[in-house]
Amino acid sequence: MAQNCLKCLKYTMCAVNFLCFMCGTAVLAFGVYMTMQLKMSALIPTLAQLSVPNMLLICGIIITCVSFLGFLGALKENRCLLLTFFLLLFILMVVELIAACLLLVYETEIGEMVKKDLQASLDKTKKENSTAALSDWDVVQNAFTCCGVYNVSDWGDKVPSSCCITDPCEAHPRYKKKGCLETMQNWFEENFLYTGVSVIVLCIIEVLGMCFAMTLFCHIRRSGLGYKL
Over residues 28-59, the pLDDT tens digits come to: 887 777 767 655 555 555 545 556 667 777 88
What string of DSSP letters covers 85-111? HHHHHHHHHHHHHHHHHHHHHTHHHHH
- H or E stretch at 200: helix 180-223
Write out pLDDT tens, residues 200-221.
888 888 888 888 888 888 887 8
168 upstream amide cis, omega within 30 of 0: yes
Domain ranges (residues) in the chain? 2-106+207-223, 109-180
- Give pTM, 2 decimals: 0.71
Write out pLDDT tens, residues 1-25.
556 777 788 888 888 889 888 888 8
Average pLDDT over residues 84-89: 92
Identify the band that residue 167 occupies on the pLDDT scale cut at 50, 70 and 90: low
Assess contact for 41 and 52: CB atoms under 8 A. Answer: no
Q: Other C-beta atoms within 10 Å of 171: how many?
A: 4
101, amino acid identity: C
What pLDDT score was predicted for residue 131?
67
Average pLDDT over residues 149-166: 83
Q: Other C-beta atoms within 10 Å of 161: how many?
A: 14
What pLDDT score was predicted for residue 228?
46
Q: What is the CATH number of domain 109-180?
A: 1.10.1450.10
